[in-house]
Structure 1
Amino acid sequence: MAGASLLTLLDDIATVLDDVALMTKVAAKKSAAVADDVAAMTKLATKKTAGVLGDDLALNAQQVTGVQADRELPVVWAVAKGSLINKMILVPAALAISFFLPWLITPLLMLGGAFLCYEGVEKLAHKFLHSASDDAAVHAAHTTANADATRDMVTFEQDKIKGAIRTDFILSAEIIVIALGTVASAPLLQQVAVLVGIALLMTVGVYGLVAGIVKLDDLGLWLNGKRSAVAQACGRGLLVATPWLMRFLSVAGTAAMFLVGGGILVHGVPFLHHAVEAVGAAAAVGSFAGLWSAVTTNGLNGLAGIVTGAVLLAVVTPLLKWRAGKA
């Protein structure tokens, strides 16, 4: 009897171990599936937020204009830390909205898309809305800041940093809201993982690239001072290419703002979304059917973004002028 009981006990232990192994295997599969889902959603959210990224890069690179060359990287680092604090506020707020007020996500997305379109049109119309004297005054303030011995450069830097962090808060809010829209139906833990991942990725990516961009001209000057003809040629090339890179980032960022903002708005209005899809499907002909469909769909999204931004600009500009005049 004792032997039979021992064998029964061993059999029970073996069964338990088999069950544990099976559950561990299932859990591992589920964890891998969750990791794949998080990676896929993070990739999708990154694509969705790309419209803000180009503008974010150009804008933040321009924020350090007028800062002494040896203080550019410390200023970028200070703004990056401020950006992390912004996202530490925005990510929990977005998750709270998703948990308690999920119906608010779509209106917030629409507002974010509308703001992107408005900002894009405002950039295009800048030369008509701002006089040449205003632009000249800003440029003069930047170029003379370092030469003015009486100017408090610490205060100047702090003003730059505070302004850049305020701008970053708006751009970060757009990024977080757009990313939240892509994971709104996912479980809470996956939402947390995606939003935190996007926040860190965008901060490190944007400000890492900004740090590199603002030092390209210094690298060009350094190479231009070398004895090697190849180094000098590379240096001159960088000095010529850097302004063009800034312009390209600005243009690409503006175009992406219309595409992303317009796409959000079109997707939020069912009849527009179906109409754009129908036109895109009708354009899918010939050997490059997929390409023509994508070009048509994105073109219509961009057109919707431009029209929306123009309408908002026509409404907001008189209000801003009236408010400024009243003040």
Structure 2
Amino acid sequence: MAVPQPTADRCHDKKYKLFKMLGEYLDLCIRISVVVFCANFIERLCSVSIEYIFYKKYYLPEDRLSTIIRRACTYNVNTIWLAIMLLLLGFARFGSTGNLKNLLPNHVYLACMPLYWVFSFAQLSYRPLGYAHWIRGTHGLDYAAGMASNYFHGYLKLALPERNDDGLKKRMQVYEDTHSINFATDRLIILIPDDMFVKGIIVSDLLEKAEPLETTFINRAGVNRPFKHAVYRLKRQINGTTYYFAMEGATPMLSFFEAMNSQSSTSWQMREMKREIWLKFAKHLKELTSSWPETEHEVELFIYNSRNLNGESADVGELLFAHFEARLGNKKQLN
């Protein structure tokens, strides 16, 4: 008759088997990770060769090879941290077992490297969501950031700041004194609707186009360019006062809207990501205007949905009235 093993010994055996299984699992993960990193490194070396042979015209001759190697073999921060963690885990396992053979992949594992290249070629991780994540990044290489940068550096940064006793605020002050009116804000309002379409003349039952601000001329790349800003009168009074706005639509967004409706200049990716592009444009433009001292108090971005909850076109005049009624009403109460 077998003598039952004491309970304490059985618990010890279970813990031993559990830790053994965990250790074997970690060893397996390390071996697979080594195979993946090796396959990835070989793939990068192949891409260096392909780039150097077939796409050399995209690089300057004096630093062609170094640039290709840097672009092909640079790892991001997450990958570097993962490699460090796996390295530390490998040292820890080797320190506890003293067996290096269990950590290194054998020929069976190495023979699976082509499977990694097949998955990579098939872009197994591809998904349109990746485009959205890339647009949301801070690299500045996407279409939205490019439009915002060009709009800021080529227009807003030139036309708005005070230079030689002339700037947006000075022209608005002269306009107020000349026409005996009041602006609701001393900033240029830039309309950025989510459908990205703004007509040449902003249409609203509550807005009436008035005489524009004085045109200013600024030399840009040898061309004396005129810069002008439209002015609109709000037909409905706020606190008994009729207010005016220096206001215009974001022209890059209108250009993007037109490109979206052209078969030769659009793609399904652009149509799929149009809202991402709209949001990134607004976000990046706000960052640019608020981070530059000469424009941080010159622009007010008015970002809004072009349709209301009922699916009807939103009246931008109504939206402006509600926005500034709340702001000016609160300001009056504080005073």
TM-score range, shorter chain: under 0.3
Larger radius of gyration: 2
Greater fraction of residues in strand: 2
Greater fraction of residues in helix: 1
Q: Higher RCO, 1 or 2 (CA under 8 Å, sep at least 6)?
A: 1
